[in-house]
Amino acid sequence: MASFSQFGNDLHTGKRSFDIVGLRRRWYLIAGILILIAVIGPLLRGGFTFGIEFTGGSEFVVSDVADQQQGKATDAVQSVVPDVVPKISTVSNTGVRVQTDQLTGEENTQVRNALAAAYDVPVSKVTSSFIGPSWGKDITGQALRGLITFLVLAAVVMALYFRTWKMSLAAMVALVHDLIITAGFYGITGFEITPAAVIGFLTILGYSLYDTVVVFDKIRENTHEDESSSSRTFPASVNLAVNQTLVRSINTSVVAALPVASILFIGAFVLGAGTLRDISLALLIGILVGTYSTIFIAAPLYAHLREGEPAISKHDKRVLAARSKAAAQADEVTV
Amino acid sequence: MAKLSPVKKAWRSLTWLAVIIVGLIALNTAGVLTGGGSWAPKLALDLEGGTQIILAPKLESGKTVSQEQLNQAVSIIRQRIDSSGVSEAEINTQGGQNIVVSIPGTPDDETLNRIKSSAKLEFRPVLLAGQPSAASVGADGKTTPAPSATPDPNLRSTPTVSPTNASDLNYVTPALQAKYDSFDCSTINNTSNVAPADEPLVTCETDGSVKYLLGPVEVSGEHITDATNGQRQTQTGASTGEWVVNIVFDQTGAKSFATVTTRLSGLQGVQNQFAIVLDGEVISAPRTLAVITDGKPEISGNFTQESSKVLADQLKFGALPISFTVQSQDTISATLGSTQLVNGLIAGLIGLILVVIYSLLQYRLLGLVTIASLAVAAVITYLLITVLSWREGYRLSLAGVAGLIVAIGITADSFIVYFERVRDELRDGRGLESSVEAGWKRALRTILASDTVNFLAAAVLFIVAVGNVKGFALTLGLTTIVDVAVVALFTHPMLQLLAHVRFFSEGHRFSGLDPRALGAAYRGRARFRPSDAITPAKAASVSREAAKRQTIAERKAAELASTSASSSSTSSEGKDS
């Protein structure tokens, strides 16, 4: 670990520096390709898979059951439709409620028979009906309204705090990048989008902006301190800030990702599909992408947006001129 | 100016933290003792199960319910349930006709009423009022039933003179009079006791004490834009302690309300009364003493705080397009079950252990401060959640548990930002004590800015969103506040104190604050030269910069010397200048 703190020291002083801002074309290209994959991938797979909370589905209620063991219902449903993960709960002391994706008429009959056989009751004791979505359009509508209000407010707050709207813009672009890629991951892997996954997306949204604000605060400090007297060009100041916060970025994402990764591991490999897997996948991808996009998209984009400003480009030219002059002088002195 | 030394400040902050924790414990103890509170947070539907209520629409024969009406009803019911707390109920339609409401726990009558009653509000003028039963009370105190319970169908049921306004007694036809006379409040069935808006209505006060014959609807609940409950205020602003519902009408409603009150205030006897009818029953029929032109009447009628809140919520979100009856009410088990929760918690624990190992590797013994801070954050969050689940009906779902686990990352980030800042200051050659103060100043700005963004997200989503999203927003807002509180009241004071412990202030190899490991060169006791050792080859191109850094560092070193001389009595090397 001594080498890691040495690494931190070198990044802090600028002895070692990753040219992140300078290579921005490369990062833009990578982001473009990733977004393209995230958009086209799900389309090729046939769109997103939504959970029954969004689409509604079929519900079976088995009554007068002697043994309410829930595993029987899962087996019965999967003997007819193998891919479906049913939501099962017991009702009072003698009933079992099974909710599945929308089934066809024939599958419906087969599932009813299978359930009746599994619980050893006559078929007449198994009722089936269609259930509407519990996450209806009204919830989605309200959530979207909240989201848009939040994004606008966050952009305004950031613009006021950093005293430039260009930071808001860069942060928002990085945020959209994160959301598209996380959503694309769901589309490509075919994981179901459930309310838990949506909550995961929202958490990512907060985390991504949070991470960007932390790094931007350092950028603001570096570029503000030496607005006119700096010996660095504007992009170089931004780059130094990103490098100086690199150790923090790595530490934070590791600390945030470790618990989520262990939930994903247990959720996916021990429990199989379910709420835990759905939410932790969104979170893990989002944390990693959120940290990445702050460094490789938000910061270079911000430098890109501002370097064209007359005051900044004038300053940058002066710095470069002074630097070559100093280099020439230093050559003479050190001889 | 009496400035407190960092150590005193640190103890003060820690005292505040203790006060907060003890306060929360006391609050929750009070909750447990008075009933309703508990030491464990309540769990949501997916983890604990609850009650499944199937609501069937009340339909007159031959009529059907449209999908649109059902969706509207679902949306209104959801708003009503949300307004009573953050319990993440699940509401959906079933079979294109019923509505299934699943809520955690067992609902009481108040909750059922909140969900199912239509809450159709009407204002009707009073035409007649009288004894509640059809029976006439004899002189001997014996009651004899009214001669005929069913009015004669041959009586005239249309007015001879068409009424000019809703208060016109010409509405009282002989048929209506007979119906009114034979009406018995003890047999009232408010589900069937409805009349079209443009016709008179015979009904009773909700407690069955008065029977009324009311004119057509003057103003209806559709024109209500807002409703709140509160205690009645007298003209001097004093509170009378009586619970009322204050409503605000839209323009149309306010205008018709003004017209009606103008007319009624000129009338005598019962005709001066204005009946407020809810779902076919009169909740109160106040006398019209003044003309109300601002469209903001208040409704009184034997309310408790709870029942006035229920009515205000119902009126605010609008009446259900159809009335419902409870078809069945069953307990249901959790959909996820305890295995998911247990495994989720185990996973979280494993993740936490990994975080502990990582922080110890990264920050050596300073990592212990991180771990202690996370533990303090966990205690406060746990207490807040138990208090909220008692006061606000908050329930922890599996998604909420996952949200809390992610919060570990965001909380730990504050410490990381702070520690990195302190290390940056050490690298620039400051002593530990002033590094802690300077690093804190800069880190606090960053922490506040980034937490503000998170808090904004939480607040906006909490206000705007419904259902599960609301629960998420509460969790996020809670952890953000706890984060700021812990870093300011625990992590920073701890570092301030540790800065005086030899092990740390001397920069022991395992303290995580070793200036030598951080690249600052040793320059005599407790003073370090900055680490800007730049190779001669590079020196040429960055000579200007190196010179500048040197001056900053020297200035800082001077600062350090003066601060340690003035604030610290342990330093024996203070310069006397």
> Does one domain contain both A80 and A185?
no
Tell me how many degrees the CA angle B355-B357-B361 measures, rounded to the nearest 5: 115
Distance CA B145, CA B138 (A): 10
Q: Which residue has the tokens 């955690």?
A: B104
> Does one domain contain both A117 and A102?
yes
ipTM over 0.90 threshold? no
| A181 contact partners, CB below 8 Å, separation of at least 6 | A34, A35, A38, A285, A289
Q: Judge whether A119 and A65 are in contact, CB under 8 Å.
A: yes
> Does one domain contain both B100 and B138?
no
User: How far from each other are the two terminal CA atoms of chain B, in whole angstroms?
Assistant: 21
> Does one domain contain both A257 and A194?
yes
Three-state DSSP class for B431?
coil
In the prediction, which pLDDT does B43 show?
A: 84
Residue B103 tokens read as: 């809520």
Residue pLDDT, tens place only, A106-156? 888 889 889 898 888 888 888 888 888 888 777 788 888 888 888 899 899
> Does one domain contain both A104 and A231?
no
Would residue A12 count as lying in a domain? no
> Does one domain contain both A247 and A114?
no
Residue B52, chain A, CB below 8 Å: the answer is: yes
Q: Which domain holds residue B95?
A: 50-116+327-332
- CATH assignment of the domain containing B254: 3.30.1360.200
User: How far from each other are the two terminal CA atoms of chain A, in whole angstroms?
Assistant: 40
In the prediction, which pLDDT does B553 show?
A: 53
Domain end call among A114, A131, A148 = A131
Would residue B516 count as lying in a domain? no
- Whether residues B351 and A259 touch (CB distance < 8 A) is answered with yes
Residue type, A201: F
Residue pLDDT, tens place only, A39-89? 998 888 877 888 888 888 888 888 888 888 877 888 888 888 887 778 888
Q: Which residue has the tokens 């008692």?
A: B390
Q: Using CB atoms and an 8 Å cut-off, which of residues 234-263 of chain A contact chain B?
A: 244-245, 247-248, 251-263
Would residue B249 count as lying in a domain? yes
- Residue B479: is it exposed, middle or buried by C-beta count within 10 angstroms (0-12/13-18/19+)? buried
What one-character-per-residue DSSP string does A219-282 give?
HHHHHHHTTTT-SS-HHHHHHHHHHHTHHHHHHHHHHHHHHHHHHHHIIIIII-SSHHHHHHHH
Alpha helices in chain A (DSSP H): 2-13, 24-45, 52-55, 70-80, 105-119, 137-162, 165-189, 195-225, 234-244, 246-265, 275-293, 299-306, 310-334
Three-state DSSP class for B52?
strand
Least confident of A151-165, A170-184, A246-260, B555-569: B555-569
In the prediction, which pLDDT does B562 show?
A: 53
Q: Judge whether A89 and B333 are in contact, CB under 8 Å.
A: yes
Chain A residue with CA closest to B329: the answer is A92
Q: How many domains does chain B have?
A: 3
- Whether residues B398 and A196 touch (CB distance < 8 A) is answered with yes
Mutation target vs A (from B397, B408, B461; most A CBs, 10 A cutoff): B461
Residue A206, chain B, CB below 8 Å: the answer is: yes
Domain end call among B442, B471, B505 = B505
Q: Read off the pLDDT band of A169 (50, 70, 90).
A: very high
Residue B492 tokens read as: 């920073």
Q: What are phi and psi of B471, to 5 degrees?
A: -60, -40
- CATH assignment of the domain containing B54: 3.30.70.3400
> Does one domain contain both B394 and B471?
yes
Helix axes B432-464, B6-33, angle to 10 degrees: 30
- Whether residues A207 and B358 touch (CB distance < 8 A) is answered with no
> Does one domain contain both A163 and A292?
yes
Q: CA of A271 to nearest chain B CA: how many angstroms apart?
A: 8
Percentage of chain A exceeding pLDDT 90: 14
Distance of CA A247 to the CA centre of its chain: 21
> Does one domain contain both A285 and A148?
yes
Q: How many domains does chain A have?
A: 2
- Position A205 pLDDT exceeds 60: yes
Mean pLDDT of A210-214: 89
Residue A271, chain B, CB below 8 Å: the answer is: yes
> Does one domain contain both B283 and B377?
no
Q: Judge whether B165 and B261 are in contact, CB under 8 Å.
A: no
Would residue A193 count as lying in a domain? yes
> Does one domain contain both A177 and A229?
yes
Which of B100, B74, B325 minimizes the C-alpha distance to A89? B100
> Does one domain contain both B110 and B127?
no
Would residue A265 count as lying in a domain? yes
Outline where DSSP puts E strands in B61-150: 90-94, 98-104, 121-130, 136-137, 143-144
> Does one domain contain both A207 and A69?
no
Q: Read off the pLDDT band of A316 (50, 70, 90).
A: confident
- CA–CA distances in Å: residue B271 to residues A252, B180, B240, B343: 73, 16, 27, 68
Distance CA A70, CA A73 (A): 6
Residue B358 has its nearest CB partner, among A56, A258, A279, at A258
- Position A185 pLDDT exceeds 60: yes
Would residue B528 count as lying in a domain? no
Q: Which residue has the tokens 């449903």?
A: A77
Distance CA A222, CA A219 (A): 5
Would residue A4 count as lying in a domain? no
> Does one domain contain both B393 and B493?
yes
- Whether residues A275 and B70 touch (CB distance < 8 A) is answered with no
Distance CA A43, CA A183 (A): 12
Would residue B379 count as lying in a domain? yes
> Does one domain contain both A145 and A231?
yes
What's the per-residue H, E or C state across B501-518? CHHHHCCCCCCCCCCCCC
pTM summary value: 0.73
Q: Which domain holds residue A184?
A: 18-49+136-330
Mean pLDDT by runs of 10 across the 577 residues of chain B is 72 92 91 82 83 82 77 83 76 85 81 78 83 52 45 62 74 80 70 69 81 85 84 77 84 85 82 82 79 79 80 79 81 74 79 86 84 90 89 80 77 86 83 86 89 87 78 85 92 87 70 64 47 45 44 54 48 40
Q: Judge whether B440 and B492 are in contact, CB under 8 Å.
A: yes
In the prediction, which pLDDT does B176 show?
A: 81
Mean pLDDT of A191-211: 83
- Residue A298: is it exposed, middle or buried by C-beta count within 10 angstroms (0-12/13-18/19+)? buried
Chain B residue with CA closest to A256: the answer is B409
Would residue B128 count as lying in a domain? yes
> Does one domain contain both B88 and B127?
no
Would residue B574 count as lying in a domain? no
> Does one domain contain both B273 and B368?
no
> Does one domain contain both B233 and B171?
yes
> Does one domain contain both B93 and B178?
no
Q: CA of A104 to nearest chain B CA: how many angstroms apart?
A: 15
Would residue A7 count as lying in a domain? no
> Does one domain contain both B103 and B181?
no
Alpha helices in B329-431 (DSSP H): 337-363, 366-391, 398-427
Domain end call among A76, A97, A131 = A131
- CATH assignment of the domain containing A87: 3.30.70.3400
User: What is the C-alpha radius of gyration for chain B, rounded to an integer number of angstroms?
Assistant: 35
Would residue B543 count as lying in a domain? no
Q: Judge whether B471 and B44 are in contact, CB under 8 Å.
A: yes
Would residue A6 count as lying in a domain? no
> Does one domain contain both A119 and A179?
no
Which of B74, B75, B94, B78 minimizes the C-alpha distance to B86? B78
Residue B345, chain A, CB below 8 Å: the answer is: no
In chain B, residues with a C-beta closer than 8 Å to the C-beta of A200 are: 399, 402
Distance CA B308, CA B306 (A): 6
Would residue A254 count as lying in a domain? yes
Between B192 and A271, the more confident residue is A271
Would residue B64 count as lying in a domain? yes
Q: Which residue has the tokens 């048929």?
A: B175
| B366 contact partners, CB below 8 Å, separation of at least 6 | B419, B504, B511, B512, B513
Q: Judge whether B100 and B93 are in contact, CB under 8 Å.
A: yes
What one-character-per-residue DSSP string does B436-504 give?
HHHHHHHHHHHHHHHHHHHHHHHHHHHHH--THHHHHHHHHHHHHHHHHHHIIIIIHHHHHHHTTSHHH
Torsion sign (Cα): B24, B26, B31, B37: positive
Beta bridge partners of B244: B230
> Does one domain contain both A189 and A253?
yes
Q: CA of B434 to nearest chain A CA: how many angstroms apart?
A: 19
Would residue A312 count as lying in a domain? yes
